[in-house]
Amino acid sequence: MLSNNTTKAPTFPIIDFYDLENRFEIIAEQVLEACKNVGFFGIVNHSGPTSAQFDQVYEMGKQFFEQPIEKKVPYGRTEMKSRGGYFSLTPHKCDNWGK
């Protein structure tokens, strides 16, 4: 049976980030309104990171995590609630029972 009901697809705000530096106040207000009223939004015309920049950040992270633990500990965190920093999955030295 055919229905006469036409359901509109849900929409969400699309925010144009073109000329962000000069339109910052306007764009910030649009982002705030979208977050308050809808909870999310799409972005167009942003000047996001290039592939080369992603590769550079990845390489920096790789170099950091390949360092010995002693070099990473100063960047550690004590509470798991906090964000950022370094934490070891095995903070305690264990006996190597296999040897």
Residue 25 in any domain: the answer is: yes
* Assigned token pair, 47: 């000047």
Residue 24 in any domain: the answer is: yes
Residue 18 in any domain: the answer is: yes
Residue 40 in any domain: the answer is: yes
**Is the pTM value of this prediction over 0.85?**
no
Q: What is the extent of the structural domain holding 23?
A: 14-44
* Neighbouring residues of 40: CB distance < 8 A, sequence distance ≥ 6: 12, 34
Lowest mean per-residue pLDDT among 20-24, 37-41, 88-92: 88-92
Give the number of C-alpha atoms closer than 13 A to the C-alpha of residue 66, restricted to the C-beta side: 6
Write out the DSSP string of 24-51.
HHHHHHHHHHHHHHTS--EEES-----H
Residue 99 clears pLDDT 70, i.e. is over it:
no
Residue 99 in any domain: the answer is: no
Residue 33 in any domain: the answer is: yes
Residue 37 in any domain: the answer is: yes
Are 35 and 41 in contact by the 8 Å Cβ rule? The answer is yes
Residue 87 in any domain: the answer is: no
- The CA distance from 42 to 12, in Å, is 7
**Domain count within the chain:** 1
